[in-house]
Amino acid sequence: MWERWQKGDSMHAIGEAFDRYHGSVSNILAQNGGICPAVRKRAPVSLT
């Protein structure tokens, strides 16, 4: 979704690609200010 947003695709086109309404796509993008969230990862100590 983030790559499509950066390329300039419309909300409607992004929503169709993910089988969602464009309103839900705009809400997700608005929550993060249009910036892709960082990849979550755990510390090795917490996995033992």
pLDDT at 48: 72
Q: Where are the domains of the chain?
A: 2-36
Segment holding 4, helix H or strand E: helix 2-7
pLDDT at 31: 82
pLDDT at 34: 75
Residues 17, 21, 24, 27, Cα dihedral to 10°: 90
- Between 23 and 48, the higher pLDDT residue: 23
* Span 1-34, pLDDT tens digits: 888 888 888 889 988 988 988 888 888 888 877 7
For the segment 35-41, the average pLDDT, to the nearest whole number, is 80
Number of CB atoms found within 10 A of residue 20's CB: 15
